[in-house]
Amino acid sequence: MEPLVKINDSLWELPQTAKPGMRVPGRIYAGEGMLKHIIGDNCLEQVANVACLPGVQKYSLAMPDIHWGYGFPIGGVAATDPAEGGVVSPGGVGYDINCGVRLMRTDLKREDVVPRIRDLVHQLSRDIPAGLGTKSDLRLTLADERKLVAQGARWAVANGFGDAEDLEFIEENGCMADAEPSSLTERALERGAGQVGSLGSGNHFLEVQIVDEIYDETAANVMGLFLGGVTVMIHCGSRGFGYQVCDDYLRVLARAPGKYGIHLPDRQLVSAPVESPEGREYLASMRCAANYAFANRQVLASKAKEAFLRALRISPATMGMALVYDVPHNIAKIEEHTVEGQTKRLCVHRKGATRSFPPGHPLVPARYRAIGQPVLVPGDMGRYSFVMVGQQAAMEQTFGTICHGAGRLMSRSRIKREINFEQLRRDMDERGVVMMAHGRDTAVEEAPAAYKDVEDVVGVVHTAGLAKKVCRLRPVGVVKG
């Protein structure tokens, strides 16, 4: 493959001539020190493959947390134009549809929580089901589940989980329109019926964090974040339900490329035109899975709040817990963007990438419109996470998108060869983080050494002007599946 062309210190271009069939160049946001790993991971091949999709606009994009994924790289972004035969690809969303991040702030300070952090983490671990195949204590009938996937977080609020004002601070107000439950398989509904309000496994987590650095006082104040303040971050998605939806539609769309004359360089990029029956059906079902994830995080947040109250023996007023924002990072959405001076309605795939809309954008909640959309970028459980706000350059360069996290540096199998659970436990203790893990192997797979330093990743998008740093959050307690 042709060498990357340096555009500036944060941006590199993969020429359109790098691979036959590319319709647009690739663009990779990364610091120079990240390139060796990116090239070695072979994910540039996936960037080139995505550039071959019908209707793709401007660039096949990769964020600095890029690594190998199914079809699209994780950290991959692409927008297609339905009016030009643009396609939708499940590989551009991923199996865990609407895997995302929710951040809640509190009025509590470090000294209110750290002396009792072990009790708090144990309470959270008891109250929040987590781990592979774990069932929630919330049992739904299939009729209830169909309502949930149509209503998203609104269903959770109506059933006593959180408050109606939370909905303003969830992307899409916690519910994607045009979700169609009738397209779902019985298997998907069966898998999802017992998992609403559970954390899952893999890289999913619930963290208790402390605000330990503020870069933008104005934006932090608007979000209710202050130095030494306690926050709660939840990272999870649509569980087995979303996985099954993706699996179902990989089969449904398998014949679409032949039917519509789509040539694909990789069968994992199975696609259908957005405006085809297959494309519309996938999007309708994907939206159901997205709504499932919004409801799941809403329920989890309510459970976390109750666990805080029990463990710390304080009142809701003293705790002052409130939702800052909730963002998906595995999703495809129809949005308006400007391409060569023309406003177009595009299908934007964000696979391990987060929306980053700027100040003044009408889809940014009124409270945040002057500062830009909050963007939540989790790191690993031993270092830190970041809160950022979207900037106009993201609209101009990346369809309003930035990174979604630190990005893996080592495979799960490799990190398990390098350290064991007891080493991880000692490392976490030395870092001052109380960890409760429902699975030892899963915890080791998510060890800090397995990930890039999220500060480097965030530094790239900050320097590129795609988003601006607001504050850094350091973990003091974590619950893992």
Query: Quick check: is 404 catalytic?
Result: yes
Q: Choose, from 204, 235, 337, 404, the residue flagged as catalytic.
A: 404
HEC per residue, the chain? CCCCEEEECCEEEECHHHCCCCCCCEEEECCHHHHHHHHHCCHHHHHHHHCCCCCECCCEEEEEEEECCCCCCEEEEEEECHHHCCEECHHHCCCCCCCEEEEEEEEEEHHHHHHHHHHHHHHHHHHCCCCCCCCCCCCCCHHHHHHHHHHCHHHHHHCCCCCHHHHHHEHHHHCCCCCCHHHCCHHHHHHHCCCCCCCCCCCCEEEEEEEEEECCHHHHHHHCCCCCEEEEEEEECCHHHHHHHHHHHHHHHHHHHHHHCCCCCCHHHCCEECCCHHHHHHHHHHHHHHHHHHHHHHHHHHHHHHHHHHHHCCCHHHHCCEEEEEEECEEEEEEEEEECCEEEEEEEEEECEEECCCCCCCCCCHHHCCCCCEEEECCCCCCCEEEEEECHHHHHHCCCEEECCCCECCCHHHHHHHCCHHHHHHHHHHCCCEEEECCHHHHHHCCHHHECCHHHHHHHHHHCCCEEEEEEEEEEEEEEC
Residues annotated catalytic, as ranges: 404
